[in-house]
Amino acid sequence: MTVTTRPTAPATHITADIAKGPRPALLLAVIALCTAVTAANIYLAAPLLGLIARSFGASPSSAGWIASVAQLGYAIGLLAFAPLGDTADRRRLVAALSGLAGAALVAAGLAPGLPALAAAVLVACAGTVVPQLLVPLVAERAPADRRGLHVAAVVAGLFTGIVAARVLGGLAGQAFGWRPVFFGAAALTVTVGLLTALMLPRETRPRRASNPLKNIAGLPRLLRSSADLRAACLRQAGLFGAWSSLWTTLSLLLTAPQPFHFSTGTAGLFGLFGLTSTAVAPVSGTLIDRFGPRRVVTAAYVLAALSLPLFWLGGHRIWALCAAAVLIHAGLMAGQVANQTRALGATPMPSTANTAYVVSAFIGGASASALAGPAFSAWGWNGVCAIAVASVVVGWLGGRGKGSVRN
């Protein structure tokens, strides 16, 4: 299976005390749990948008932009904190970021209005880049012949967290209200984050380490110099934008008086379709090894394109909405694995390329979801589907470029 995270840092950059501490299997399980809990925070507000809008007496479109703020916060965290994983002690980073996210989630639960809630969600999601610190560490510690399995376990945890945010968040919101959901997420984030930090191996860093700010400043130059990296970034931004526009407004469609009038808890169950991503990941890795990432990306866009008319029909037919959800998740994950593989092989600076890739994807998602809320308010579900179509078209056309990377 292809490892789709950034490559292991050279041994001269880090010395980890891996001889001591918990058994590898136990540490891996705790890291996967931490990844799930922190990743859930990015999508925590999505199934609660209807409840949030009603509690503040706001329109659905006014609350819908909270979802895009969450993705922007994560992108900011990637730029500000993820590069520090190459230069600082990750134990301290995980503890500090978990504390930051937990405090911001408490502030979100206490927010008196939408602006305060948006600010708190922005900070909380900026602190949820912990998975970008943990996945490289897992790759470093894993035996060479089992590295793919170990990394896959953590990636599975990440997508499990995304599913849990929608399903459990929706059910808990219906039962207790949206504010207790944020308080509960804060408690989980801090508890699991500190436990993970305590179990991580000690690290020592050389005095002369790379400057993360310098790496960030070099992102535009790196994108200009690599056609393969640009293509991977644009292609995934298009896929993630389509998924985000549809998924962040889906609860507004399902809980509206017409045509479905589902409860918040029932609408949250649609998050279970995210389990499709976990099943597709290993299959995508095998196909990439055999056929190369470009063909898999093409297949991902075919799946996404097939889902779009079903999403439009799903505005009135629940079976079409279910089928579309399976297709869009399969396309998103296949594209994620293939595009990230292409990005990491496009340049001799894979860590910086990984930052550019992930930030590009989340900017695409945030932009599309920011447009989806007003589109839903103005034109209903048809407007959201139009945003998704535009995102897929722009991503495909923008990523049309010649490159040399096959595997």
Task: Confirm whether 294 is domain-assigned.
Answer: yes
Task: Confirm whether 14 is domain-assigned.
Answer: no
**Sequence-distant contacts of 150-154: CB under 8 A, at least 24 apart:** 150/28, 151/3, 151/4, 151/5, 152/1, 152/281, 152/282, 153/28, 153/32, 154/28, 154/31, 154/32, 154/35
Name the one residue in this structure whose structure tokens are 């400043």: 217
Q: 143-171: per-residue pLDDT in tens?
A: 655 555 566 667 777 878 887 887 888 88
Check whether residue 209 and residue 238 sit in a common domain.
Answer: no
Total of domains in the chain: 2
The Cα–Cα gap between 43 and 112 comes to 21
Q: Tell which of 217, 243, 277 closes a domain.
A: 217
Task: Confirm whether 8 is domain-assigned.
Answer: no
pLDDT at res. 404: 44
Closest-CA residue to 148 (of 286, 290, 343): 286
The upper half-sphere exposure of residue 39, i.e. CA atoms within 13 Å in the direction of its Cβ, equals 23
Closest-CA residue to 79 (of 199, 184, 220): 220
β-partners of residue 232 are none
Q: Tell which of 217, 239, 255 closes a domain.
A: 217
Check whether residue 69 and residue 183 sit in a common domain.
Answer: yes
Name the one residue in this structure whose structure tokens are 């602190």: 127
Check whether residue 203 and residue 249 sit in a common domain.
Answer: no
pLDDT at res. 150: 65
Check whether residue 251 and residue 197 sit in a common domain.
Answer: no
Residues (pLDDT < 70) of the chain are 1-22, 86, 139-140, 142-153, 205-212, 215, 344, 349-351, 401-407
In 3-state terms, the chain is what percent helix, strand and coil (to 5)?
A: 80, 0, 20
Domain ranges, residue 29: 19-217
pLDDT at res. 211: 63
Check whether residue 213 and residue 240 sit in a common domain.
Answer: no
pLDDT at res. 214: 72
Check whether residue 246 and residue 198 sit in a common domain.
Answer: no
The answer to whether the CB of 192 falls within 8 A of the CB of 33 is: yes
Task: Confirm whether 194 is domain-assigned.
Answer: yes
Task: Confirm whether 248 is domain-assigned.
Answer: yes
Check whether residue 155 and residue 202 sit in a common domain.
Answer: yes
pLDDT at res. 212: 60
Check whether residue 73 and residue 197 sit in a common domain.
Answer: yes
Check whether residue 253 and residue 302 sit in a common domain.
Answer: yes
Task: Confirm whether 260 is domain-assigned.
Answer: yes
pLDDT at res. 337: 77
Task: Confirm whether 300 is domain-assigned.
Answer: yes
The Cα–Cα gap between 149 and 142 comes to 9
Check whether residue 254 and residue 206 sit in a common domain.
Answer: no
Task: Confirm whether 348 is domain-assigned.
Answer: yes
Check whether residue 103 and residue 53 sit in a common domain.
Answer: yes
pLDDT at res. 281: 72
Check whether residue 272 and residue 343 sit in a common domain.
Answer: yes
The CATH number given to whatever domain includes residue 208 is 1.20.1250.20
340 — alpha (psi -120 to 50), left (phi > 0) or beta?
alpha
Q: Tell which of 217, 239, 272 closes a domain.
A: 217
Q: 299-309: per-residue pLDDT in tens?
A: 999 999 999 99
